[in-house]
Amino acid sequence: MKDTFKSGFVAIVGRPNVGKSTLMNQVIGQKIAIMSDKPQTTRNKIHGVYTTDEAQIVFLDTPGIHKPNSKLGDYMVKSAQSALSEVEAVLFLTDVSEELGGGDRYIIEQLKKIDTPVFLVLNKIDKVHPEELLPIIEKFSKLHSFAEIVPVSAIHGSNVSALLETLTRYLPEGPMYYPADQVTDHPEQFVCAELIREKILQLTREEIPHSIAVEIESMGTQDNGVVQIGAVIYVERSSQKGIVIGKNGAMLKEIGKLARQDMERLLGSKIFLELWVKVKEDWRNRESVLKSLGFRH
Ligand code: GDP
Ligand code: MG
Ligand code: K
């Protein structure tokens, strides 16, 4: 280990679907933030911890900053903004395969309000020709003075190590906040609930919007070492309940199977997973329901 150890917190922000979770998973090398091709998959801050001999970077995978359209949106924006003021650097992720639009401009306006150095991370470079990058960089540079501009492909891992090296230069001398082998400070229950939510979003495609929540009701280890997990999937309407359960329960069975496989990999033990589906009307706009599901400012 070097004499001077560096450490600090780094926030990842960006429009939905630009690849924030993918980047964090690439960095951490283990599945902790859930990924899907639907927006607003990530609702809570997830700390990913990256540790080397020289430094430790604690990542906050923040929900996309965007104009709130419900109480839940409000929670998400507040959580993103508080994250930005607590960190050493902000990674502002963009998708180079899409036009610079209102979404990115809105986020840049928010980033102007903070003093934290902002990295412009141009993601999905695998989707464009290298010559297309320069004009994109010029467009963004006109809008804000970025501390660094780093093109990457989060999914393939291209240039991600260069990003981490540059990031390390921005960290102050500091302690190791987490043990070197720890990748997330979230309780296992939260990660398990997120894995179930990920499978629902992936398998139901367009039919189920973000209007679902998953709550782990029970989790315990049996004498034979099998971990028993009971979870409730909350939907807004009974029609959605039907979709999640599927014909003869086929959809729910598939959701459970895929989630269980990921959980077994994550926890390293055999899992017995039970899923229930309940209708909670308009839960997204009811403060008390949000609180009971663990959303906080
Ligand atoms: P988030 O909403 O910003 O967290 O985005 P996700 O990490 O969930 O990614 C959204 C979608 O973009 C997923 O389908 C990813 O597989 C895809 N994606 C992420 N990074 C890349 C990349 O570097 N290249 C390509 N081609 N796709 C990517
Ligand atoms: Mg995400
Ligand atoms: K997403």
Answer yes or no: is 115 a known binding residue.
no
Q: Take atom 6 of ligand 1 and give the residue whose Cα is closest.
A: 19
pLDDT of 87: 85
Percent of the chain at pLDDT exceeding 90: 39
pLDDT of 211: 65
The pLDDT of 13-40, averaged and rounded, is 73
pLDDT of 162: 95
CATH architecture of 6-169: 3-Layer(aba) Sandwich (3.40)
Residue 127 in contact with ligand 1 by CB distance below 6 A: yes
Judged by its nearest atom, the ligand closest to the C-alpha of residue 23 is 1
Most informative mutation of 12, 15, 17 for ligand 1 (most atoms within 8 A of CB): 17
Q: Rounded to whole angstroms, how far apart are CA atoms 32 and 13?
A: 17
Is the CATH number of domain 188-292 3.20.20.70?
no
Q: Do residues 277 and 233 touch, judged by C-beta distance below 8 A?
A: yes
Closest CA to 207 of 228, 235, 170, 226: 235
Selection from 75-84, 94-103, 201-210, 262-271 with the highest mean pLDDT:
94-103
**b/e code 48-62 from CB counts within 10 Å (16+ = b):** bbbbeeebbbbbbbb
Atom of ligand 1 nearest to the CA of 16: 2
Selection from 13-27, 50-64, 131-145 with the highest mean pLDDT:
131-145
Atom of ligand 1 nearest to the CA of 33: 4
CA of 34 to the centre of ligand 3 (A): 8
Q: Rounded to whole angstroms, how far apart are CA atoms 177 and 286?
A: 36
Selection from 110-114, 139-143, 191-195 with the highest mean pLDDT:
139-143
- Say yes or no to pLDDT of 104 above 60: yes
Please determine whether the domains at 6-169 and 188-292 fall in the same fold group of CATH: no
Residue 14 in contact with ligand 1 by CB distance below 6 A: yes
Q: Rounded to whole angstroms, how far apart are CA atoms 130 and 134?
A: 8
Grade residue 260 by pLDDT with cuts at 50, 70 and 90: very high
CA of 137 to the centre of ligand 2 (A): 24
Is ipTM over 0.95? Answer: yes
Model pTM above 0.80: no
Answer yes or no: is 16 a known binding residue.
yes
Residue 20 in contact with ligand 1 by CB distance below 6 A: yes
Q: Do residues 244 and 255 touch, judged by C-beta distance below 8 A?
A: yes
Query: Which is more confidently placed, 61 or 15?
Result: 15
Q: Take atom 24 of ligand 1 and give the residue whose Cα is closest.
A: 124
Domain coordinates in residue numbering, the chain? 6-169, 188-292
